Amino acid sequence: MQNGYLIVGIDPGTTTAVAILDIKGELVNLFSSRVVSISDVIEHIIEYGRPLIVASDVTPASNTVEKIKRAFNAVLFSPNESLPTNDKINLAKQFRYSNEHERDALAAALWAFRDCKNKFTHIEKKTPVDMDVDEVKALVIRGYSIDAAISQLSVPDKVEKVQKKEVKITDNQILELQETIHRQEKQISRLREYIEELQSQLVKKDDRIDELASLMDGIKIKDQRALRKTREIGRRDKDISRLKKELRKREDYISLLSTQIDQLKQFHTLDVLGERIPLKVISSFTKDSILETEAKYGLKKGDMVFIEDAGGGSHTTADLLISKGIRVVIIQNEMSYTAKKRFLDAGTPILSTKEVNIHRIADFAVVNPDILYLAIQKWQENTRKMRVNKMESLIREYKKKI
């Protein structure tokens, strides 16, 4: 058995763990056991020295920790708040431990040492060389100031002179002592039997705890199965909801396609009968609108189109329609000069709604064929005259230069 001061961390419970540090913070011993009593813990600690601090990792400290603290008349250390798991892992990571109980006991002892470390360093600086610094630390931990502790230990010991006397023991006294020893032996025997009985009860309680733990594990497994089933039902419900939404979207798309098919049939009927010439409607003179009309109804060579809003177009959008072989473009507002020039150069007539009488049928427009052809002829004649005039103008300019 050693006599140095110790800092002891304890994690009580079904498995009890004890971490023992010396007063310099060095790990002296670390152990844990499932079948261990308070007296066993006390006997184990005594083998390594005298506990100055008994520490717990939780607040408030358990009754077991309180009892061990009282057995050694030690100072209890308990943090202001129970130590978080991350803090305990960081404190104990420099040491090897077998389970989380040993980790918690080790963290409690190390936390207590860290809390006292600066104070210990200050004590070491102030303590005289010839004085036992550990004894000063012990007094300070128990509530003394550093100066008071040093002063207390500086008082010379009073040596009492003991006069030796010869002691005579009578036969009656010997008999009384023998009876006292006999009674104490009986008492010790009874106490040992009681300890064995308590240990037996503890084993039974541990077995019951294990039984209840197994029962709880079974309940947890059932709960986990029920939870998995509930989650699976939830996932299926989400899948069903998603599929219903997808079905509604497809039904809406089918309805839209049916409408477009009906409109295309009407368009084809008008085209075949020749009573009205159908026009494919483009909402605005942009690339997106042109491609949208093409996706819905198709744009092929020889088609005639009606652009509802011709403003904002450019030579790029004009080239897109020209590349598709559009025969006639009808507009109801002004088109840009660059776009008009592209159509003019390509020989694609641009007609105004003022020149032809347009009627709307659903997403299509129709025009009287006689009026349309007259307008086309007029555009072609005007275009021809414009080109002739331009050519004559160029010739006159050339002759002037000659």
Q: Average pLDDT by consecutive 10-residue portion of the chain (402 residues)?
A: 84 92 93 87 89 93 90 90 91 90 94 93 92 91 90 65 54 72 71 69 76 81 83 88 87 74 62 70 93 90 93 90 94 91 92 88 81 92 88 82 73
Output the pLDDT for position 112.
94
Rounded CA separation 217/227 (Å): 15
CA distances from 113 to 41, 88, 107, 110, 226 (A): 21, 14, 10, 5, 47
CB 24 within 8 A of CB 68: no
CA 99 to chain CA centroid, nearest Å: 27
Kindly tell me the burial class for residue 345, based on how many C-beta atoms sit within 10 Å of its own C-beta (0-12, 13-18, 19 or more): exposed
Distance of CA 154 to the CA centre of its chain: 60
Q: Which of 17, 1, 94 is nearest to 9 (CA)?
A: 17
**β-strand partners of 366:** 278, 359
* CA 29 vs CA 44, 109, 137, 229, 305: distances in Å: 10, 11, 21, 48, 95
Q: Where are the domains of the chain?
A: 5-154, 179-272, 274-401
Beta bridge partners of 361: 364
Query: Can you spell out the DSSP letters for 65-112?
Result: HHHHHHHTTPEEE--SSPPPHHHHHHHHTTS--SSHHHHHHHHHHHHH
Please state, as a whole number, how many other Cβ atoms lie within 10 Å of the Cβ of residue 252. Answer: 10
- Surface-to-core class of residue 358, CB atoms within 10 Å of its CB (0-12 exposed, 13-18 middle, 19+ buried): middle
Full-model pTM = 0.41
d(C-alpha 382, C-alpha 361), whole Å: 31
Structure-block tokens of residue 388? 């002739």
Q: 3-state DSSP call for residue 155?
A: coil
d(Cα 268, Cα 252) in Å, to the nearest integer?
A: 24
Q: DSSP class of residue 128?
A: -
Helix (H, G, I), strand (E, B) or coil at 384: helix
Give the dihedral sign, CA 261/262/266/272: positive
CA atoms lying within 13 Å on the CB side of residue 21: 25
DSSP annotation of 307 reads: E
Output the CATH code of domain 5-154.
Answer: 3.30.420.140
Both structure tokens of 128: 């005289």
